[in-house]
Structure 1
């Protein structure tokens, strides 16, 4: 049974709207999130990589083209999983599993790098997942993830273009609902401190924290760039075992 974020992408209308949104050259995933993620990740040559919530597999294609030794993608949405199968079908070094992150049986000490992009804010028991990730890494392995920034998840957000953001109930953790792409989407709000302490609690050494400050070089439109300077959309952590 699908849980959390993956189930929304199996709604055909939602999946269609999401696909159209991501196709835009102005989308913040590609103008802000991906460039920072790539900076944190660095070289992946000869690494065994696990991608949690791999989506349509396009990032997996990037990782394989960058020379990773093996690529394992975990995806809970059947629509996303099928897209990933299509995008990765020509790569023998890839392996895809249709499973939610919560239900997947993490192997011990198998990966050199675990990545997860904009997925973990859908997870209820984040420390349990951090612990399973920790044990799936080889000694010295790295875990890098991005999430919606807590100033975004801290308040209910209506659909459409926002011009003002009101941070509210920041220190009240738990479920938050957002009407997005025609669906009421449930996410889990935590503070920056929460993520930090959950990582430390399971044994990770935290190397870097980023708050998604945009760079003009990644934007074709200066007005959109200036708008993105107003508030952090994403939060990133890089940590090692």
Structure 2
């Protein structure tokens, strides 16, 4: 069985195993992606924030502590949305249970829209980019991360178990769906080149201010061997854009 979008997270065993992986100390989300994301986001004091594919809203708690005015998570998985709502109890945050494709934001509703490792699940990314542009105030920021295209290009490397030390990059310019073995399931992702992400952002009206590939920083790792392994290939592609 193949899972699309956020549907895999509503399968009990997958959800439980994912959360174990996601919260481990040297998860790429924690030691590679998040430090760069926070630098790209910058000062959030007084800002209204929207998080597309918010997961457990862990980043929302962080941004609220940093002074953002409000936080709205958009999440398509019922399991994830329930966990996010629980984590946000008593905070100036809320969660909307909705797939990103069906999200209907208001005009100039947010000062910052972010998304972490979620947009590569979408087939119709250009429409979502247009919605983000629509809901941002003039000068508002859009910061997001996706799985790096060298990883989404081919699912062959993902078929091997254990910690990989080499990867197969193939069919890079053949964009489209990939069925990737992940945590014991087949998950559908959509492969795009870096050039295509850039083109869709420009088409939606954004100015791309920065691009990062998550260069590992030794101080974020407790394991030297894991740090050296993560220097072999990029796992994340990140954009910082302005309306």
Provide the rounded CA distance (Å) in 2 between the counterparts of 1:129 and 1:43.
25
Q: Distance in 2 between matches of 1:105 and 1:204?
A: 19
Q: Does 1:32 align with 2:20?
A: no
Contact 1:159-1:180 within 8 A present in 2 as well: no
Kept in 2, the 8 Å contact 1:159–1:181? The answer is no
Q: Deviations over 1:96-128 (max 9, x none)?
A: 111111011121111000000000000101111
**Using the alignment, how far apart are the partners of 1:106 and 1:153 within structure 2?**
29
Contact 1:76 1:99 in 2 (8 A): yes
Per-residue displacement from partner, 1:172-210 (whole Å, max 9, x unpaired)?
Answer: 000011111111000000000000010001110000000
The C-alpha deviation readout for 1:6-40, integer Å capped at 9, x for no partner, is 10000100001001112211211101011111111
2:189 is aligned, of 150, 172, 187, to: 187
Select the residue among 222, 225, 237 that pairs with 1:223. 225
Asked if residue 99 in structure 1 is aligned to residue 130 in structure 2, the reply is no
Secondary structure in 1 matching 2:101: coil
Deviations 1:29-52 (A, max 9, x none): 101011111111111000010010
Distance, in Å, in 2 between the alignment partners of 1:140 and 1:219 is: 35
Q: What CA distance in whole angstroms lies between the structure 2 residues aligned with 1:25 and 1:228?
A: 14
Count of equivalent residues: 238
What is the rounded CA distance, in whole Å, between the counterparts of 2:223 and 2:164 in structure 1? 17
Question: How large is the RMSD of aligned CA atoms in angstroms?
Answer: 1.0
CA drift of 1:159 comes to 4.9
Return the alpha-carbon distance in structure 1 between the equivalents of residues 133 and 124 of structure 2: 15
Structure 1 residue ranges (4+ consecutive) displaced by more than 6 angstroms after TM superposition: none
The separation in 2 between residues aligned to 1:229 and 1:120, in whole angstroms, is 24
Could you tell me which runs of 5 or more consecutive residues in structure 2 were left unpaired when the two chains were aligned. Answer: none
Give the Å deviation of 1:5: 2.4
- What pairs up with 1:75-154 in 2 under 5 angstroms? 75-91=75-91, 93-154=92-153
TM-score by length of 2: 0.96
Q: Which moved more, 1:20-29 or 1:191-200?
A: 20-29
1:158 corresponds to 2:142: no
2:204 corresponds in structure 1 to 202
